[in-house]
Amino acid sequence: MKESILLLGHGSPKKEANNLERVAAMLHTMLHAGCKEDCVKVAYLQFAEPGIMDTIKDSVSRGTQKIILHPFFLSSGMHVTKDIPEMIEEARKLYPGVTFIYTEPLGIHEKLAHIVMERISAAEVLAPAAIEKRSFDILSAEADLSSIPADRLPIVQRVIHATADFDFKDTLMFHPDAVAAGLAAIKAGRDILTDVEMVRTGINKKLLSRWGGKVICGIQESVVSSQESGIKTRAEQGIESALRENPNIGIIAIGNAPTALLKTVKLFNSPEFAGRPLPLVVGVPVGFVKAVESKALLAAQRFPFITALGRKGGTPVAVAIVNALLKIAGEH
């Protein structure tokens, strides 16, 4: 049986207010994905075209045998309880072979209350802290984070918040001592070393300043090469130099350069660093070349680390992890 759905609106002299077609298009996609037929139509009671009776006539002429009519009204006023039913009764007489089904209006429904809440939220001028809290509430409602240990949860939340990517719920990996090591380094006033300036810029210096640490980036102006190691990237060279020259580094945040992460892992497994307390390594480089391999290598280490397996990562992830640790440190 060929079926049509009619969304019935009141209609307005203001042309741009007659926009039920958008709702009809969304409804059509939800009910009949991929359908090319014009089976969800719009009709107006007054002030706008097409009218209800004209739309019914057009549907019947196209072979429709069943017409579902939904009054897109909030309440059961005179239009819903008298005017439209009278038109439907007239249509039944004109087209006795067609089945007409008339639904309830939108009425009172809990989902409408949620929509009102969204509209209020969009209209409010919120402080940044309130916006952040609301964002965290939304992401917690949309993703099941109940399996994540309590000490890691704020970090996972902040990464998802920074990226709008729920995949990090499953791809973030933590050494058992990672969070404790990061918090201890921050509270001891140790420095944070980054692979690139973008990561350094994003880290919250105000939160870090309470403990006396600094954020440093040792990226070099140019690459160097040697017979032993070949060409070194600027980030790799910067990480290596800083680790050898600065004994106060407590966290290394790498969000861009896989070579810098590979160099860090190599150094920490070398005799030069044997027996030393090692910094927490936040290694989340992004990309297609060496990023996956460098993070998989980090995930196999015995020293404290936080990483994100796979290709995804980058500056926003590295910054989010470090800032989450800084925020946790400030609250405890």
Catalytic residues: 161
Calpha distance 179→173 (Å, rounded): 11
Residue 21 tokens, joined: 């077609």
Calpha distance 309→286 (Å, rounded): 10
Query: In 3-state terms, what secondary structure has residue 97?
Result: coil
Q: Which burial class, exposed, middle or buried, applies to 67 when counting CB atoms under 10 A from its CB (0-12, 13-18, 19+)?
A: buried
Q: Kindly report the CA angle at 281 between 265 and 268, in degrees rounded to 5?
A: 30
Residues 6+ apart with CB under 8 A from 315: 196, 198, 199, 202, 255, 256
Please name which of 13, 22, 15, 24 lies closest in space to residue 55, comparing C-alpha atoms.
Answer: 24
Residue 253 tokens, joined: 């945040």
> Phi and psi of 251, rounded to 5°?
-140, 135
Please name which of 280, 266, 311, 285 lies closest in space to residue 196, comparing C-alpha atoms.
Answer: 285
Other CB atoms within 10 Å distance of the CB of residue 108: 9
Residue with tokens 């009809």: 24
Residue with tokens 């949860």: 153
